[in-house]
Amino acid sequence: MPKERPEHQIKIMITQVSDSLYSQLIKTYGENLPSAEPRSLDEIRKQAFERFKRVGFPTVKHEDWKYTNVQPLVNQHYELDVEPSFAAIDLNNAGIPRLDAYRVVLVDGKYHAGLSDDVSDVPGLSIMPIDQAFERLCFAKYFAQFADKTDNPFVALNTAAFTSGLFIEVGKNTQLSKPVHIIHVSAARQPVFNQVRNLYVMSAFAEAEIVESFITDDAAERNLNNLVTEIMVREQAKLQHYYLQTATSQSSYLNHTEIYQEKHSLYNNYNCTFPGPAFVRNNINVRLGDSEVESHLYGITLTAGNQLVDNHTIVDHLKPHCESYEWYKNITQDTSTAVFNGKIFVRTDAQKTNAFQQNNNMLIGEKSAVYTKPQLEIFADDVKCSHGCTIGQFDNDALFYLQARGISEAQARILLVHAFAFDVTSRFANATVREYVEHLVEEGL
Amino acid sequence: MLSIKNLHASVDDKEILKGLNLEVKAGEVHAIMGPNGSGKSTLGNVLAGREAYEVTGGEVLLEGKDLLELSPEDRAREGVFLAFQYPVEIPGVSNINFLKTALNEIRAYKGLPPLEAREFLNRVKEKQKLVEFDAKLANRSLNEGFSGGEKKRNEIFQLAMLEPKLGILDETDSGLDIDALRIVARGVNQLRSQNNAFIVITHYQRLLEYIVPDFVHVLYKGRIVRSGTKELALELEEKGYDWIKDTVDAEGAA
Ligand SMILES: Nc1ncnc2c1ncn2[C@@H]1O[C@H](COP(=O)(O)OP(=O)(O)OP(=O)(O)O)[C@@H](O)[C@H]1O
Ligand SMILES: [Mg+2]
């Protein structure tokens, strides 16, 4: 429906050089990283910290951060590790009507037992604060094995300094009857820079749905949240994974998700961002590590105000006979900015790969901007890959058509945006979440 | 019902309608003919309220109410329906949902409650039958991938569903095969009543054999330059527009 527009909008970027938070981090953690049993973790933290120390925060000169200037964010003062304020947390903003789920609440990354469901009697399901999982076999096996191989400095910092986060293991052959709903609440009453680390392990033949909501408590000060989630999807396992970003302008997010898939596994990610959080950078990297793997990445980003939402994805085909399918839709209002960068690698071994990528953008705000970049690197010769991207304005002829039938302008806009998002929303495996997302789209217009 | 007085309208600062007058009474059908580019669709768009068309003078009253003051949606709710010459395709919006939304917004405007699902479906069935509109099409995305004729028929299906006071048919006959033309005409004839009126824009006398007009007007250079009964359409079919153009242009020169 959007009309093609040949060139992307260009916005002027101001590069600032700042090292205040950087030096604060070096001073705080240089000789004093968090430490616990087993000691092997200490060594991992130390090396990660050295990596962070060497490169520091990225600037817009780094290709991966070209349109996403973190300097203003890291140029502010934050507390580094605050005691969570568990008082009077209001979860209403995270409620998904009619979703029956195991609820897990993290307040500034810290597990809130009082607000979380007790799942100890659910067979095959383990959910716990990450620091209680350090001694587990699969923690040692998978922790920092995937995300830390990328050159994202925020991952290095997270590995070095995290003290909170979540560990989930879905046991072999376990098929969860209800989704796990993780609610991330930013609530600290002082400015805070959180390092939150998650590890989810889907054992062989396990099946689960994980829905993650991000909200800001009304009383929260500004907060910067650096989350890293590593996900292992073992042979024949299936994971449906939803991100529902509905925080407010007090909150900013660096959210790195690294997925590794084994043979015959399925991983679907549905990444939804709505008006609210000032700054969101998602890195979602899927490694298709064995044959017969299937991965789907869906994205729906609706921005408003002066928001910046940047989705960077990597789909990495390592082995033959795999299929990936990626579809991201951005709708930008006011003076907001949306960035999409989708890399697909098809490695030498990955013959008979089937990879699809599509990114469509609808600019509603005349002063909003979209930057989109597909990147395909194909080293195998017998593959099917396609990608496409469109940037278009709101279709005023369609708007008039609907109005001419008696539909109000506001309602007509909603219909048209739903229609634009349909390719993505219609793929949602969970109808309750889909309905909720469609409702959030309406609210966000 | 509709009273247009000395209407002037421009697009991109180019004047298209240059003092148009037209009176349509309830129960009447008026045909508007005229050469390409004379301003027929412009008139339809101005009446429906498309933003790009700027009204620079004159007035339009629908049952005494100033139409030009109203938003496009309020005009539709007051009973204006334009069957577009080129209906747009809107992928992802289902025909049926769209109609339900439209119908209920029009009802809300009139202070009526939304139609019950059953009533709505009954109405859909009844009107589908009236214009022989394929149920499969009704359930598809709005006009997406419809053939030219199917789009036109969908316009008439919508008209039947919304039951407007004033239906403006902009070349609904072009692109219709002979059977479809008869079906559409029969539908319109059944919808005709003492409480509504139609303006039928067409190039062809053939449609007017089925939808018999009370008056025929010729629009040329943004004005109605000849009005008559249905015999005028026959005369135009025979002689073309040159004789009218010549006299009008001579009058203009004088
Ligand atoms: N949106 C627009 N932008 C620019 N010019 C326009 C626009 N709409 C109409 N015009 C111009 O106004 C004039 C009248 O056009 P209009 O579509 O009303 O003619 P018409 O009588 O319906 O012709 P046809 O019989 O070909 O449908 C034409 O010269 C046309 O190019
Ligand atoms: Mg026309």
The per-residue pLDDT string of chain A (445 residues; one tens digit each, 9 = 90 and over) reads: 444 444 444 333 333 344 589 999 999 998 889 988 888 899 999 999 999 999 999 999 999 999 999 999 998 889 997 777 777 888 988 899 999 999 999 999 999 999 999 999 999 999 999 999 999 999 999 999 999 999 999 999 999 999 999 999 999 999 999 999 999 999 999 999 999 999 999 999 999 999 999 999 999 999 999 999 999 999 999 999 999 999 999 999 999 999 999 999 999 999 999 999 999 999 999 999 999 999 999 999 999 999 999 999 999 999 999 999 999 999 999 999 999 999 999 999 999 999 999 999 999 999 999 999 999 999 999 999 999 999 998 889 999 999 999 999 999 999 999 999 998 999 999 999 999 999 999 999 9
Nearest to A406 among B76, B84, B93 (CB): B76
**Closest listed ligand to the CA of B10:** 1
- What is the distance between the alpha carbons of residues A218 and A108, in angstroms, rounded to a whole number? 14
Q: Of A3, A401, A423, A442, which to mutate for an interface test with B (greatest number of B Cβ within 10 Å)?
A: A401
Alpha-carbon distance values, A417 to A90, A303, A314, A361, A439 (Å): 30, 12, 27, 11, 12
Fold of B2-38+47-253: Rossmann fold (3.40.50)
Q: Are B27 and B194 in contact (CB under 8 A)?
A: yes
3-state class of A2 per DSSP? coil
- What is the distance between the alpha carbons of residues A328 and A298, in angstroms, rounded to a whole number? 6
**Closest listed ligand to the CA of B169:** 2
Q: How many CA atoms lie within 13 A of A180 on its CB side?
A: 29
3-state class of B127 per DSSP? helix
Atom 29 (ligand 1) nearest CA: B37
Nearest CA in chain B to A397: B88
Nearest CA in chain A to B108: A406
CB contacts of B71 in chain A (<8 Å) are 403, 409
Q: Do residue A419 and residue B84 have CB atoms under 8 angstroms apart?
A: no
Rounded to a whole number of angstroms, the distance between the first and last alpha carbons of chain A is 18
Whether residue B52 has its Cβ less than 6 Å from ligand 1: yes
Q: Do residue A415 and residue B101 have CB atoms under 8 angstroms apart?
A: yes
With a CB cutoff of 8 Å and minimum separation 6, the contacts of B33 are B40, B201, B202, B203, B216, B217, B218, B219, B233, B236
Record the tokens describing residue B8, joined without a space.
């002037």
CA of B40 to the centre of ligand 2 (A): 5
Q: Is the ipTM of this complex over 0.90?
A: yes
Q: Do residue B51 and residue A416 have CB atoms under 8 angstroms apart?
A: no
Nearest to B88 among A398, A420, A423 (CB): A398
Kindly report the number of other CB atoms within 10 A of residue B205's CB atom.
18
CB contacts of A401 in chain B (<8 Å) are 84, 87-88, 90
Nearest to A406 among B77, B84, B91 (CB): B77
Rounded to a whole number of angstroms, the distance between the first and last alpha carbons of chain B is 35
Q: Do residue A422 and residue B84 have CB atoms under 8 angstroms apart?
A: no
Alpha-carbon distance values, A265 to A89, A149, A359, B4, B112 (Å): 37, 22, 25, 68, 53
Whether residue B40 has its Cβ less than 6 Å from ligand 1: yes
Q: Do residue A419 and residue B91 have CB atoms under 8 angstroms apart?
A: yes
> CA quadruple B155, B158, B163, B164: dihedral positive or negative?
negative
3-state class of A135 per DSSP? coil
Backbone φ and ψ for B81, nearest 5 degrees, come out as -135, 120
Q: Do residue B88 and residue A401 have CB atoms under 8 angstroms apart?
A: yes
Whether residue B16 has its Cβ less than 6 Å from ligand 1: yes
Q: What is the pTM of this model?
A: 0.85
Q: Where are the domains of chain A?
A: 12-290, 398-445
DSSP 8-class letter at B47: H
Q: Are B102 and A413 in contact (CB under 8 A)?
A: no
Record the tokens describing residue B154, joined without a space.
């969908």
Nearest CA in chain A to B91: A419
Strands (E) in B124-254, as ranges, are 141-142, 166-170, 197-201, 215-220, 223-228
CA of B58 to the centre of ligand 2 (A): 21
Could you tell me how far CA B15 lies from the centroid of its own chain? Answer: 22
Nearest to A419 among B48, B90, B162 (CB): B90
